[in-house]
Amino acid sequence: MEFSSRQKQIIDASIELIARRGIQELTIRNLSEMVGISEPAIYRHFASKTEILLALLGFFGEQSEKTFKEIASRKASALNKLQAVFEHHFRYFGENSSFSAVLFSEEIFRNDSALSSKMFQIMQGARSHVLGFVREGQMSGQVREDIPADQLSLILIGALRLLVTQWRLSGFSFELVEEGGRLWEALLALLRV
Amino acid sequence: MEFSSRQKQIIDASIELIARRGIQELTIRNLSEMVGISEPAIYRHFASKTEILLALLGFFGEQSEKTFKEIASRKASALNKLQAVFEHHFRYFGENSSFSAVLFSEEIFRNDSALSSKMFQIMQGARSHVLGFVREGQMSGQVREDIPADQLSLILIGALRLLVTQWRLSGFSFELVEEGGRLWEALLALLRV
Amino acid sequence: MEFSSRQKQIIDASIELIARRGIQELTIRNLSEMVGISEPAIYRHFASKTEILLALLGFFGEQSEKTFKEIASRKASALNKLQAVFEHHFRYFGENSSFSAVLFSEEIFRNDSALSSKMFQIMQGARSHVLGFVREGQMSGQVREDIPADQLSLILIGALRLLVTQWRLSGFSFELVEEGGRLWEALLALLRV
Amino acid sequence: MEFSSRQKQIIDASIELIARRGIQELTIRNLSEMVGISEPAIYRHFASKTEILLALLGFFGEQSEKTFKEIASRKASALNKLQAVFEHHFRYFGENSSFSAVLFSEEIFRNDSALSSKMFQIMQGARSHVLGFVREGQMSGQVREDIPADQLSLILIGALRLLVTQWRLSGFSFELVEEGGRLWEALLALLRV
DNA sequence: AATGAATGAGGATTCATTCAT
DNA sequence: TATGAATGAATCCTCATTCAT
Q: How does pLDDT run across C48-64, given as a tens digit for each residue?
A: 999 999 999 998 899 99
Q: What is the pLDDT along chain A (193 residues), one digit of tens a residue?
A: 688 999 999 999 999 898 888 888 899 999 999 999 999 999 999 999 999 999 999 988 999 999 999 999 999 999 999 999 999 999 999 988 878 877 877 777 777 888 888 888 999 999 999 999 999 999 999 999 999 999 999 999 999 999 999 998 888 999 999 999 999 999 999 999 8
**Count of the separate structural domains present in chain B:** 1
Give pLDDT, residue C128. Answer: 96
Residue B9 lies in a domain: no
Burial classification of residue B134, based on how many CB atoms lie within 10 Å of its CB (0-12 exposed, 13-18 middle, 19 or more buried): buried
Which residue is closest to E14 in terms of CA–C1' distance?
D40
Q: Å from B12 (CA) to E8 (C1')?
A: 26
Residues of C in contact with D183 (CB under 8 A): 151, 154-155
Q: What is the pTM of this model?
A: 0.87
D169 vs C: CB within 8 A? yes
Cβ-based neighbour number of residue A75 at 10 Å: 5
**How confident is the model at residue C177, as a pLDDT?**
96
> By three-state DSSP, how is residue B121 classified?
helix
Residue A92 lies in a domain: yes
Residue B77 to residue B55: CA distance in whole angstroms: 34
Task: Tell me which chain D residues have a C-beta less than 8 angstroms from the C-beta of C166.
Answer: 154
φ, ψ of residue A192 to 5 degrees: the values are -55, 150
C-alpha–C-alpha distance, residues B89 and B95, integer Å: 10
Mean pLDDT rounded to a whole number for chain C: 92
Q: Give D138-176 pLDDT, tens digit per residue.
A: 999 999 999 999 999 999 999 999 999 999 888 899 999
| DSSP percent split of chain B into helix, strand, coil, nearest 5 | 80, 0, 20
The whole-number pLDDT of residue D23 equals 81
Asked if C188 has any chain D CB less than 8 Å from its own CB, the reply is no
The confidence score (pLDDT) of residue B96 equals 87
Helix A78-95 vs helix A49-73: angle between axes, to the nearest 10 degrees?
140
Mean pLDDT across B25-45:
95
Which amino acid is present at A182?
R
Of B116, B148, B182, the CB nearest to A151: B182
In a domain, D39, yes or no: no
Of the listed ranges A16-20, A173-177, B107-111, D43-47, the least confidently predicted one is B107-111
Does residue D54 sit at the C interface (CB-CB below 8 Å)? no
Residue nearest to nucleotide F6 (CA to C1'): D41
User: What letter does residue C76 receive in the DSSP assignment?
Assistant: S
Pick from B51, B37, B29, B27: nearest CA to B6: B37
Is D9 contained in some domain? no
Q: Is B192 helix (H, G, I), strand (E, B) or coil?
A: strand
Burial string for C82-116 (b: 16+ CB within 10 Å, else e) reads bbbbbeebbebbbeebbbbbbbbbbbbbbebeebb
- Kindly state whether A193 is in contact with chain B, defined as any CB-CB distance less than 8 angstroms: no
- The tally of CA atoms less than 13 A away on the side-chain side of residue B109 is 24
Q: For residue D96, name the pLDDT band (cuts at 50, 70, 90).
A: confident
3-state secondary structure of A143: strand
Give how far C4 is from chain D: nearest CA, Å. Answer: 30
A neighbours by CB contacts (3+ pairs under 8 Å): B
Long-range contacts of D79-83 (CB under 8 A, 24+ apart): D79/D137, D79/D142, D79/D143, D79/D188, D79/D191, D79/D192, D81/D133, D81/D136, D82/D130, D82/D133, D82/D134, D82/D137, D82/D156, D82/D191, D83/D184, D83/D188
**C143 DSSP β-pair partners:** C192
User: Which nucleotides of strand E come closer than 7 angstroms to any CB of the protein?
Assistant: 1-20
The span from the CA of A187 to the CA of B151, in Å, is: 9
Please report which helix (H) or strand (E) contains residue C88, including its range. helix C78-95
Give B98 or D31, the one with higher predicted confidence.
D31
B46 part of a folded domain: no
Q: Give the CA count within 13 Å in the CB-facing half-sphere of B57.
A: 24
pLDDT for residue C1: 66
Q: A154 contacts in B (CB within 8 Å)?
A: 159, 162-163, 166, 183
Counting one residue from chain C and one from chain D, the pairs whose CB atoms sit within 8 A come to: 101
Average pLDDT over residues C94-117: 81
Residue B118's domain comprises: 56-191
Shortest CB distance from C162 goes to which of D157, D166, D170? D157
Mutate to test the interface with A, among B115, B155, B188 (most CBs of A within 10 A): B155
Please count the residues of chain C.
193
Q: Which of A148, A154, A186 sits opposite B147 (nearest CB)?
A: A186
Nearest Cα residue in chain C from D21:
C111
Task: Classify each residue of A146-166 as buried b or exposed e, where b means 16 or more C-beta atoms within 10 Å of its C-beta.
Answer: ebebbbbbbbbbbbbbbbbbb
**pLDDT at residue C82 greater than cutoff 70:** yes
Task: For residue C108, give the nearest of D107, D157, D187 by CB distance.
Answer: D107
**Could you report the per-residue pLDDT of C10-48, keeping only the tens digit for each?**
999 999 998 888 888 899 999 999 999 999 999 999 999
Label each residue of B95-112 as H, E or C: HCHHHHHHHCCHHHHCCC
D6 to chain C, minimum CA–CA distance in Å? Answer: 28
Q: Does C160 touch chain D (CB under 8 A)?
A: yes
Instruction: Say which CATH number the domain at A168 has.
Output: 1.10.357.10
Q: Is position B178 within any domain?
A: yes
d(CA C188, CA C182): 10
Output the CA–CA distances (angstroms, integers) from residue C103 to C85, D104, D168, in the order listed: 16, 14, 16
Contact status of C174 with chain D (Cβ, < 8 Å)? no
Torsion sign over Cα C8, C10, C13, C14: negative
D35, part of any domain: no
**Confidence (pLDDT) at B89:** 96
